[in-house]
Amino acid sequence: MLALQALRQQARRVVEVTILEPRPVLGVGVAYSTSSPVHLLNTRACNMSVTDDPDDFVRWLRAERPRRILNWTRDDFAPRAYFGEYLQARLREACAASHLNVHWLRDPVDAVKRTGDSWEIIPAHGDALPADAVILATGNERPRPLARDLQPAAQSLVIEDPWDAEQKAAIPADAPVLLVGTSLTAVDIALELLHRGHKGPITAISRHGLLPRSHGPLAPAREGLLNALPSSVRALVRHVREVTANDPGGEKWRRVFTDLRGITPSLWRGLSVTERRRFLRHLRVIWDVHRHRLPPLVHSRLQRAITARRLTIVRGRIVAIEPADSQSLRVVSESRGASRVFHVARVVNCTGPELNPANSSNPLLQGLVLDGVARLDALGMGLAVDAESRVIGANGSAHATLFALGALTRGTRWEISAIPELRDQANAVARQLLQTFERRRARVRAAESRTDGSLRMSA
């Protein structure tokens, strides 16, 4: 998005962009590489454009993936795979623009090193690449493993990466399956299994047992909420409770969360680290289920599966996963002092991404923190960045030409996963980057004219 949306619009000179991405398809990441028709965007089409035109995605849908009856509208929730195709189409157009040279190396990056004023990128294979600026956009890390100490045979029954298509395809259709997590990933996996005819019982378990809520009708944004918002979490909760009193249809709380969307970064910045911790400890789950809502169609499919007892939602914390026999696992959970035992053929880790880059399995992120090029943010949820998304090193100062985008900046911005927020951040980083390049060019020009002068003088 940085390459195509922001640089394309703002660059005045040719910019050479190299994208290092090991996936077979560029631009789709985990979210948009799914081909399952039940995996829908959880954001309305009018919020998914990668250009500044809010109707760009809807127009693309209508032209390229038209529906015969009731063609796409701004309020629709399209399949995620379509968004991946749209993104690639726009990237192809951007690559055709004369002032943007995009190269794609299908290789992971092992390390990024500082060399004087610039950077050296060390890919897993091949030669190091020089770069004037580096943008880290590594997205979500894999979940923290659920079971590390099992023998390989039992380990193969635990699917640690919920997006591993091969492992999911190998789940027998009549097998009892336990999904650990009840949030968006668990919803995706449950519906994917049911769609392809899974007959065995599916259970989803989490500490709170809460499912994401459904989107309602499109609610208009409301003025004035920001002025009323206080800077402590306790007062914030009181305020939201007051605003959403007498709300049987759920229209008010949905409107509050729509309004909060635009002001979340400033609200988050206004909270002290202690307050942010308090929010994460007490309110995160509640926030997530209201803020990250399901398309109504997905929500009703989910409710139907629960009513038909094809999916069961359970509250509890996993305390043990052990082999039962060669084909199944015994999983023990605990909730309020009571234990429960599940015998299942597969466990799928739907606990969400590992937030701490230093604990991730990504050598690039581990190395950046270890070398002191980057440091963790105060909450250990990402890399420390300044207000311009520049990465802050262990010495406390921000690098002028090393940026982080998206999930890596979660600790500083809190809500930075969905396309509208990513688009804003990419735009701002592109502006910042191009200004930095302009300043550097001006310095070089000034230095050259000084050198020319002295040469002329000596001549």
Ligand X SMILES: Cc1cc2nc3c(=O)[nH]c(=O)nc-3n(C[C@H](O)[C@H](O)[C@H](O)COP(=O)(O)OP(=O)(O)OC[C@H]3O[C@@H](n4cnc5c(N)ncnc54)[C@H](O)[C@@H]3O)c2cc1C
For ligand X, the binding residues (CB under 6 A) are 20-23, 29-31, 41-43, 108-109, 137-140, 362, 364, 406-407, 417-419
Reading the block at residue 76, the tokens are 């629709």
Nearer to ligand X, 29 or 181 (CB): 29
Tell the smallest beta-carbon distance from residue 28 to ligand X (Å): 7
Nearer to ligand X, 46 or 229 (CB): 46
Nearer to ligand X, 154 or 184 (CB): 184
Burial of 50-77, coded b for 16+ CB within 10 Å and e otherwise, reads bbeeeebbbebbeeeeeeeeeebeeebb
Q: For residues 171 and 327, is the Cβ–Cβ distance under 8 A?
A: no
Tell the smallest beta-carbon distance from residue 456 to ligand X (Å): 48
Tell the smallest beta-carbon distance from residue 228 to ligand X (Å): 27
Tell the smallest beta-carbon distance from residue 25 to ligand X (Å): 9
User: Please, which residues have CB within 8 angstroms of residue 44's CB and are 6 or more apart in sequence?
Assistant: 74, 75, 76, 77, 215, 218
Can you tell me the distance from the alpha carbon of 83 to that of 433, in angstroms, rounded to the nearest whole number? Answer: 27
DSSP string, 327-345: TEEEEEEEETTEEEEEEES
Nearer to ligand X, 236 or 407 (CB): 407
Which residue in the shown chain puts its C-beta closest to ligand X?
A: 29
Nearer to ligand X, 167 or 335 (CB): 167
By the 10 Å C-beta count (0-12 exposed, 13-18 middle, 19+ buried), 125 is classed as exposed
Q: For residues 125 and 430, is the Cβ–Cβ distance under 8 A?
A: no
Tell the smallest beta-carbon distance from residue 124 to ligand X (Å): 8
In degrees and rounded to multiples of 5, residue 120 shows phi and psi of -125, 130
Tell the smallest beta-carbon distance from residue 295 to ligand X (Å): 9
Nearer to ligand X, 22 or 172 (CB): 22
The DSSP output letter for 357 is G
Tell the smallest beta-carbon distance from residue 12 to ligand X (Å): 25
Nearer to ligand X, 6 or 364 (CB): 364
User: Please, which residues have CB within 8 angstroms of residue 406's CB and are 6 or more apart in sequence?
Assistant: 137, 138, 139, 416, 417, 422, 425
Residue 237, amino acid: V
Nearer to ligand X, 138 or 264 (CB): 138
Positive or negative, the CA dihedral 170, 173, 177, 180 is positive
Can you tell me the distance from the alpha carbon of 430 to that of 2, in angstroms, rounded to the nearest whole number? Answer: 7
Tell the smallest beta-carbon distance from residue 254 to ligand X (Å): 17
Reading the block at residue 432, the tokens are 């910042």
Nearer to ligand X, 240 or 404 (CB): 404
By the 10 Å C-beta count (0-12 exposed, 13-18 middle, 19+ buried), 455 is classed as exposed
Tell the smallest beta-carbon distance from residue 137 to ligand X (Å): 5
Tell the smallest beta-carbon distance from residue 373 to ligand X (Å): 14
Query: If DSSP states are collapsed to H, E and C, what string results for 400-417?
Result: EEEEECHHHHHHHHCCCC
Nearer to ligand X, 111 or 175 (CB): 111
